[in-house]
Structure 1
Amino acid sequence: MDRRIKKNQSAIMNALMQLIAEKEFEKITINDIAERADVNRGTVYSHYADKYDLLDKCIEAQLAHLMECCYSPETTGPFPSKITLLRTVKEIENNAPLFQSLLSIKDVSSFRVHLSKMIHMQIVEQMNEHKISLDDLGKSIFAQFMSSAIVGVIEWWFTPSMTCSAEELTERLWSILEVNWMTLLSPQA
């Protein structure tokens, strides 16, 4: 891809992320984005269909970045490690204003939905890799339960302010997740 195209796309995405931290997504216009990115309106439209398309691409980029920062290649168990969870929570903590803003967007395919789907897919993938003896519906229900719980706890942590450290949140969340995984792995499951 041409350097100028990458530079423009990066500037446009960064502009949207900055604007989301400042005001509600619904009130952001293409003109606002173009002005902040220091490009013309046509340049924004040459890369993205509209602000919703741009938001989707930004969410995908943020999730990819989150995964890249937090992935632990040494993880060998049937669930991501506590270290991986801590890295994820710390990355979210380090970028709290951005993630708070992304989680607060309503009425569009939100960051919360994308994050939940990503976690859901990872959990199902882990269950398949470790040959967990549940049918597809059972795996899907379990993964939905776990992903919703994780995202819900992260949302709670952000409101009204982070009431505990990333380490404490990870420790407590991990103990709950571990109990659920052990129940799933037990012979009765």
Structure 2
Amino acid sequence: MDRRIMRSRQMIMQAFIELLGEQDFEKVTIQGIADRANVNRGTVYLHFTDKYDLLEQSVDTYLMMLADSCIPEEGTTTELSRDLFIRAFTYLKEHAAIYSVLITNKGIPTFRHRMTQMIKGNVTMVVNHMKLESDIHRDVLAQFLSVSITGLIEWWVVESMPYTPEEMVEQMNKILEARLQLW
């Protein structure tokens, strides 16, 4: 893709995310996005059908960037490693301005839902390769872990990332090792 096209798309998505941080999705307009990105309306429409298409493509782009940040140097893995989670939390912290808007914006649950689905896909792959010593159903375990991880990420972002990525991963590890018996 031409660098100018990529740069325009990036500026438009960045402007869109900034506006979402300031107002509800319903109030964001194509003209407002164009003004913020310092492009004309037509340029926005060259890249995106409407603001809903812009939302979908932004969610796809930022989820892909998050996923790419977690990939180990040696490629895909069937393990949920400490290093993988540290990379994910570190990436989220480094790009907090973007992800805090996407995760917490009440008008667009799309990002949170799709992030949960992405996590679930990866967790399911790992769970399917695990040796389970109990009668826990793999699909139940995968759902529980993916929703828990998403919820923990959301909490961490909403609370302004009060712990380092390493501390968050250590806490997750302790929780998983504890095998809490609630009843």
TM-score, normalising length: structure 2: 0.82
Instruction: Give every structure 1 segment of 4 or more consecutive aligned residues whose post-TM-superposition deviation is greater than 4 Å.
Output: 74-78
How big is the alpha-carbon RMSD for the aligned residues of Structure 1 and Structure 2? 2.7
Decide whether aligned partners of structure 1 residues 178 and 54 sit closer, same or farther in structure 2, where only a CA change above 3 A counts: farther
Structure 1 gaps, min length 5: 181-189
Match of 1:94 in 2: 94
Q: TM-score, normalised by structure 1?
A: 0.80
- Distance in 2 (alpha carbons) for counterparts of 1:76 and 1:18: 33
8 Å CA contact 1:56, 1:109 repeated in 2: no
Structure 2 residue identity aligned to 1:110? T
Letter in 2 for 1:139: R
* 1:103 maps onto 2:100 in alignment: no
CA offsets, 1:35-75, max 9 Å, x none?
A: 11222112212221211211111111111111222211458
What does residue 66 of structure 1 align with? 66
Q: Give 2:16's aligned amino acid.
A: L
1:183 — aligned with what?
Answer: none
Contact 2:66/2:88, CA 8 A, preserved across alignment: yes
Q: Is the 8 A contact 2:78 2:125 kept in 1?
A: no
Q: Distance in 2 between matches of 1:79 and 1:36?
A: 42
For residues 161-185 of structure 1, give each alpha carbon's deviation from its aligned partner in whole angstroms, at most 9, with x where no partner exists.
Answer: 33322221110112324566xxxxx
- Equivalent in the alignment of 2:152: 153
Match of 2:85 in 1: 85
Where does structure 2 lack aligned partners over 5 or more consecutive residues?
none
The aligned residue for residue 9 of structure 2 is 9
Question: 1:110-130: CA deviations, max 9, x gaps?
Answer: 2111110110011122234x2
Question: Which amino acid letter does the alignment assign opposite residue 152 of structure 2?
Answer: V
Q: How far off is 1:96 after superposition?
A: 2.0
Question: Residue type matched to 2:4 in 1?
Answer: R
CA pair 93-131 structure 1, distance change in 2 beyond 3 A? closer
1:39 aligns with 2:35: no
Contact 1:157–1:163, Cα closer than 8 Å, also in 2 = yes
Shift of the 57–45 alpha-carbon distance from structure 1 to 2, 3 Å rule, reads: same
CA contact (8 A) 1:105 1:111 kept: no
Counterpart amino acid of 1:165?
T
